[in-house]
Amino acid sequence: MRLLDELFRSKAVEKAISDETCLVRMLEVEAALANALASSELIPTAAARQIESCCNLNSIDAAALSAGAKRSGNIAIPLVNQLTRSVAAKNVEAAKFVHWGATSQDIIDTALVLQAREVLHLILDDLEQSCSALRRLTESHRNTLMPGRTWMQHALPITFGMKTAYMLSALHRQSRRLQDVLTSISVLQFGGAAGTLAALGDKGPAVAEEMAQRLGLSVPSTPWHSHRDRLAELAAALGVLAGSFGKIARDIALLSQTEIAEVSESQEDGRGTSSTMPQKSNPVFCAAILANSFRVPGLVSTVLAAMAQEHERGLGGWHAEWETIPEILSLAGGAAERAAELLAGLEVHPERMRANLEITHGLIFAEAVSMTLGRKIGKSAAHQLVARAVKESRSQRRNLSDVLHEHEEVSRHISAKELQDLFDPHKYLGSTHTFIDRVLAECAEPVGASHGAH
C-alpha cells in the first residue's frame, strides 16, 4: 500500500483495481472465452476445462509480465503467453486453444469493465452511507437556523437542514446517474484483431453471447475497440460525482473556520491534530475530499482527449486510458468513502449558527424589510431606502431594526409589530420546509436498493 492510500483512497476500491485483481479479471475473461468457445464447439470441452483450471494467479509470474508489457505494448500478450505455457505444462492439446479468436484488447477492456462495475457498486454503497447521514442531519436540523451565504457573504436566514437536504438531493441524483452508467458500461468487449471476429467464422455472435452471460455482462451491437464513448461516459460521470463531493467538503471546510465554527469534523482518534500547534483541529477529511475533487477533472479531460483513437484499434489514446480510468475510479471511490465517514461523524454547533446569524445586527433581514416595503413603495425605492438604513446601522453599530423603526417612511407603511416579525428568521424561511420535505420524500429509499447483489 502506498503511504497516502488511507488518506485519499478506499481499501475496497484499491483492492478492486489492484494489479492483482486486474490479472484475476483478465483470467476470468480468458476462462469465459474458453468455455464459450467450447459451447459453440469451436474448441474441445476438455481443453476449455483445462484452460479454466489454469486461469488463476498461480499460473502467473507477475514480475515477468512487466518486462513483457514493455515488449508487447500491453499486459495481455505476456499474460496469454504465460497462461499458454501453464496450460501446456498440463495438456499440450488444450494449450492450442488459449485466447482463441480474441485480441489483447478484448481481454483488457472486458477486465476493465468488470473492475469498473465492482467499483461502481462500492461507490454506490458509500453514496448510500452519505445519503443516510444527510437524511439524519436533515431531519435533526430542519429547524436549525443559520445564515445563508452567497458570494461568501451573509444573505438570508436558512436552516442547516435545508443545506443538508440540498446536498442529499445532489447525491441522490448522482446515485441515479451512476446506476445508468453501470448499465451502459456493463458490456462485453469481443471483436478479435480488427473487430470482425474473423477467426471464429460465423460463430462470433454465439460465442460473445455465451461469454457475456458467464461474466454477467450484456452484448453490445458491435465491438467498440476504438469507440470509447462508454468509458468516457464513465469517467465523466465520476467527474461530476467528484464535483459534488468537492462542493460538500468545501462548505464544511468553510463552516469549520475558526471564526465561523458552525460544524466540525469528528476528532475521533486524534484526527486533525497539528505537528506543532496544540490548539489545531484540522478538517482532514475535507482536505482529502477536496484534493480528490481537484484531481479528477484533469483526468477526465485526459480520457476525453484520448477518444480520437485511430482506425480499428488505436495507438497511444487507448494506452493513455489504462492507468487513468482506474485512477479516476480510485479517487472518486476515495472521495466517496471519505465523504461517508465525514458526514457520519459531523459535529453540528447550532448555537454558533444562531450566534453568527445575529453577528450583523439585523442586516441579514434587510431583504425581508425591503420586499415588504417594496409591496408598498416599489421594489427599487424600497431597496434604496433599506440600503441607506443598512449604512446607518453599520456606521452607528446599531441594530437595523432600531434604525428602521425610527424611519418615518418605514413606519408609515409597516407597523412596529410587523417590523418585529420581519426580524424573526423563522418567519422568513419561505419554502424551506417544502423543499426539505420534497427531498426527504424523493430520497427516502436508497437508489442503490436496486443495484442488488454483487
| Residues of this chain, 36-95, that bind a copy of itself according to CB under 8 A | 62-63, 65-67, 69-77, 80-81, 84, 88, 92-93, 95
Judged by CB under 8 A, does residue 161 bind a copy of itself?
no
Residues between 203 and 232 with contacts to a copy of itself, criterion CB under 8 A:
204-205, 221-230, 232
Of residues 194 and 453, the one with the C-beta less far from a copy of itself: 194
Joined grid coordinates for residue 228: 470509447
SS3 for 132? helix
Give 119's Cβ-side CA count (13 Å radius): 34
Q: Which residue has the cell 480528490?
A: 292
CB of 377 to a copy of itself, least distance (A): 7
Give 329's Cβ-side CA count (13 Å radius): 30
Q: Does 274 participate in catalysis according to the annotation?
A: yes
CB of 92 to a copy of itself, least distance (A): 7
Q: Give the CA distances from residue 313 to residues 80, 98, 217, 296, 320, in Å, rounded to whole numbers and listed in that order.
A: 19, 22, 22, 26, 13
- Nearest residue to 362 via CA among 142, 147, 141: 147
Judged by CB under 8 A, does residue 273 bind a copy of itself?
yes
Judged by CB under 8 A, does residue 302 bind a copy of itself?
yes
Q: Give the CA distances from residue 165 to residues 4, 141, 403, in Å, rounded to whole numbers and listed in that order.
A: 32, 10, 35
Distance CA 169, CA 180 (A): 17
SS3 for 334? helix
CB of 453 to a copy of itself, least distance (A): 27
Catalytic site residue from 9, 142, 313, 338: 313
Catalytic site residue from 66, 274, 380, 431: 274
Of residues 129 and 393, the one with the C-beta less far from a copy of itself: 393
Distance CA 403, CA 362 (A): 10
Distance CA 281, CA 409 (A): 50
Of residues 445 and 454, the one with the C-beta less far from a copy of itself: 445
Judged by CB under 8 A, does residue 311 bind a copy of itself?
yes
Judged by CB under 8 A, does residue 368 bind a copy of itself?
yes
Q: Report the run of H or E that residue 411 belongs to, with start and end.
A: helix 408-413
Distance CA 437, CA 424 (A): 22
| Binding segment toward a copy of itself, per CB under 8 A, in 121-129, 136-144, 290-298, 408-416 | 290-298
Per-residue interface string for the shown chain with a copy of itself, residues 128-147, x marking contact by CB under 8 A: -------------------x
Q: Give the CA distances from residue 31 to residues 53, 69, 74, 109, in Å, rounded to whole numbers and listed in that order.
A: 8, 21, 19, 15
Tell which one of 13, 16, 17, 22 touches a copy of itself (CB under 8 A).
22
Residues between 397 and 416 with contacts to a copy of itself, criterion CB under 8 A:
400
Judged by CB under 8 A, does residue 300 bind a copy of itself?
yes
Point out which residues pair with 157 in neighbouring strands: 147
Judged by CB under 8 A, does residue 120 bind a copy of itself?
no
Residues between 227 and 266 with contacts to a copy of itself, criterion CB under 8 A:
227-230, 232-233, 236-237, 239-240, 242-244, 246-247, 249-251, 253-254, 256-260
Judged by CB under 8 A, does residue 342 bind a copy of itself?
no
Q: What is the DSSP letter of 454?
A: -
Judged by CB under 8 A, does residue 276 bind a copy of itself?
yes
Tell which one of 12, 49, 125, 193 touches a copy of itself (CB under 8 A).
193
Q: Which residues are catalytic?
A: 274, 313
